[in-house]
């Protein structure tokens, strides 16, 4: 665990850039944004390039929005971070991940979905931003769960 002071020192020395997907602290503006545009702005992804080298594995139809399995893989060389967004959730940004020291650009998890929507992945590879999306239809929304 890094101390707050160490993180602050890293900011000052320029080791950590306090922007977009690279924010070291919990990205409050992005996570608390309700509008998709504000989420994308909060993670520095307003100008993302669509890419077929990002794969989202998720069901076409999820009966229970409280637990929707997703797997995201990026085959873009130099992928350093990945964000997962459920576009129509009350708070669309689900999670962001930074990979280092050999971690593959792969995440498997279960998310909540309030209603049928695109699940979007945003990837930062060597400072360039890429994105893809997959539609998931939800029978019973999971945000009350």
Partner 1 sequence: MAEAMKIRAHMQGDIAEIKVLILHPMETGQRKDAQGEPIPIHFIKQVTATLNGKVVLDAQWSQGIAKNPFLGFKIKGAKAGDKVSVTWSDNKGEANSIETTVTASGSV
Residues within the interface to partner 1 (CB under 8 A): 1, 26-27, 31, 66-68, 71, 86, 89-104, 106-112, 142-145
Least Å distance, CB 124 to partner 1, is 13
Cβ proximity to partner 1: between 24 and 50 the closer is 24
Least Å distance, CB 100 to partner 1, is 6
Least Å distance, CB 7 to partner 1, is 12
**Is residue 122 a contact partner of residue 91, using CB atoms and an 8 Å limit?**
no
- The angle at the Cα of 121, spanning 63 to 98, to the nearest 5 degrees, equals 120
**Is residue 23 a contact partner of residue 125, using CB atoms and an 8 Å limit?**
no
Least Å distance, CB 25 to partner 1, is 9
Cβ proximity to partner 1: between 27 and 131 the closer is 27
Angstrom distance (rounded) from CA 64 to CA 142? 6
Cβ proximity to partner 1: between 50 and 71 the closer is 71
Residue with tokens 């503006």: 29
Q: What tokens does 44 get? A: 């520095």
Cβ proximity to partner 1: between 133 and 143 the closer is 143
C-alpha dihedral (105, 110, 111, 116), degrees to nearest 10: 100
């Amino acid at each position: 665990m890094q101390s707050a002071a160490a993180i602050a020192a890293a900011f000052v020395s320029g080791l950590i850039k306090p922007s977009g997907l690279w924010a070291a602290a919990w990205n409050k503006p992005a996570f608390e944004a309700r509008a998709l545009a504000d989420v994308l702005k909060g993670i520095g992804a307003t100008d993302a390039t669509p890419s077929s080298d990002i794969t989202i594995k998720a069901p076409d139809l999820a009966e229970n929005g409280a637990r929707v399995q997703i797997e995201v893989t990026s085959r873009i060389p130099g992928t350093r971070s990945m964000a997962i967004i459920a576009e129509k959730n009350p708070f669309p940004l689900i999670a962001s991940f930074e990979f280092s020291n050999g971690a593959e650009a792969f995440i498997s998890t279960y998310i909540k979905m309030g209603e049928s929507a695109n699940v979007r992945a945003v990837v930062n590879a060597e400072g360039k931003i890429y994105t893809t999306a997959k539609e998931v239809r939800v029978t019973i929304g999971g945000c009350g769960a």
